[in-house]
């Protein structure tokens, strides 16, 4: 299937997609700050540059878009109709990079959380409460917060 826009327009559109300060990330940051949690943003010293880092709790949080990070079973994790080989390779590389970052953080003694975009769309308050409970507890080392499919 041919793209609905020309190559230059598509390139400009894709270049405008940022990896920092996305709407889901900002929503979670505001909710956590309102609950009294303080954090660092995109700490370059840590593998994967987590979106939120809570040094006090030795916890790193990744806010993942369901499309870009391939949330399994999610309705937002669609596959583009054009250039499927390119997209499959890109998505596979994204997922592998995510796994490497989480493993490296775990080996360094950090707890990790992955918050999926679909969960934030459903209930920001619920996600913030889950994050709060996880941060103040000692376990588990890794959690994943997503919308129940």
Return the CATH number at 45.
3.40.960.10
Looking at the structure of the chain, the number of domains it has is 1
For residue 94, being part of any structural domain is answered with yes
Sheet holding 111-116, edge to edge: 40-41, 52-54, 59-64, 111-116, 142-145
- The residue segments making up the domain with residue 124 are 18-145
For residue 11, being part of any structural domain is answered with no
For residue 84, being part of any structural domain is answered with yes
Q: Going along 50-122, which residue ranges are E strands?
A: 52-54, 59-64, 111-116
Per-residue tokens: 138: 């000692």
For residue 10, being part of any structural domain is answered with no
Interval 41-81: pLDDT, tens: 999 999 999 999 999 999 999 999 999 899 998 999 999 88
For residue 9, being part of any structural domain is answered with no
State the burial class of residue 120 (Cβ atoms within 10 Å of its Cβ: 0-12, 13-18, 19+). Answer: buried
Q: pTM (2 decimals)? A: 0.85
Interval 8-51: pLDDT, tens: 887 787 777 767 778 999 999 999 999 999 999 999 999 999 99
Per-residue tokens: 98: 């995510």
Cβ of 65: how many Cβ atoms within 10 Å? 20
For residue 5, being part of any structural domain is answered with no
């Amino acid at each position: 299937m041919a793209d609905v826009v020309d190559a230059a327009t598509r390139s400009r559109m894709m270049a405008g997609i940022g990896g920092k300060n996305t709407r889901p990330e900002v929503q979670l940051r505001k909710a956590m700050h309102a609950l009294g949690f303080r954090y660092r943003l995109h700490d370059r010293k840590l593998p994967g540059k987590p979106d939120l880092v809570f040094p006090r709790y030795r916890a790193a949080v990744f806010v993942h878009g369901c499309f870009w990070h391939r949330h399994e079973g999610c309705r937002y994790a669609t596959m583009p109709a054009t250039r499927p080989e390119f997209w499959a390779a890109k998505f596979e590389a994204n997922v592998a990079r995510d796994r490497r970052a989480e493993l490296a953080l775990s080996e360094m003694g950090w707890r990790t959380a992955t918050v999926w975009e679909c969960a934030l769309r459903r209930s920001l308050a619920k996600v913030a409460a889950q994050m709060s409970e996880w941060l103040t507890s000692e376990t588990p080392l890794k959690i994943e917060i997503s919308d129940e499919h």
